C-alpha cells in the first residue's frame, strides 16, 4: 500500500514552529502530538528562521516599486489607447475613400 503525503498549511507550520521556539512544547512533544517526523520539524524551523528577517524589511521600498510599475503600465495603456484611436480613424478614412472611388 502506497503512502500518501500529507500537506500542511503555512499557518499550521508556523504554529508548530512557534510552539517549539516559544518553549511551550519540546520538539519531541510536538512531533508526537501532530504525528510529524523530527526531520520535518527541523526543516520547518530552518525555513522559519531563514525567512524571519523578511518580516522586518522596509515595505515602503516595495510600495514605491509597485507604484512605479503601475505608472509605467498606465502610460503604456494610454499610448496603446491613443494608437487604437488613430488606427480606427485611419481605417474609417480609408474605407470612405475606397467606397467613394467604387461608385
Report CA-CA distances (Å) from 46 to 3, 37, 96: 25, 15, 71
Give dist(CA 15, CA 41) in Å, integer: 11
pTM of the model: 0.53
Mean pLDDT of the region 83-93:
94
Q: Which helix (H) or strand (E) holds 78?
A: helix 59-102
What does the pLDDT read at residue 69?
92
Give dist(CA 98, CA 103) in Å, integer: 9
What is the per-residue pLDDT across 17-65, written as a single tens digit (0 to 9) for each?
999 999 999 999 999 999 999 999 999 999 999 988 888 877 666 778 8
What is the per-residue pLDDT across 61-82, written as a single tens digit (0 to 9) for each?
677 888 899 999 999 999 999 9
Give the count of alpha carbons within 13 A of 60, CB side only: 0
Q: Are 25 and 19 in contact (CB under 8 A)?
A: yes
What does the pLDDT read at residue 1?
62
Amino acid at each position: 500500500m502506497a503512502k500518501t503525503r500529507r500537506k500542511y498549511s503555512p499557518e499550521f507550520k508556523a504554529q508548530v514552529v512557534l510552539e517549539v521556539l516559544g518553549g511551550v512544547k519540546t520538539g519531541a512533544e510536538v512531533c508526537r502530538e501532530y504525528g510529524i517526523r523530527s526531520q520535518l520539524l527541523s526543516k520547518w524551523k530552518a525555513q522559519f528562521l531563514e525567512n524571519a528577517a523578511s518580516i522586518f524589511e522596509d515595505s515602503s521600498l516595495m510600495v514605491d516599486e509597485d507604484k512605479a510599475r503601475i505608472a509605467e503600465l498606465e502610460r503604456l495603456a494610454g499610448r496603446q489607447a491613443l494608437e487604437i484611436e488613430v488606427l480606427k480613424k485611419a481605417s474609417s478614412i480609408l474605407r470612405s475613400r475606397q467606397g467613394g472611388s467604387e461608385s
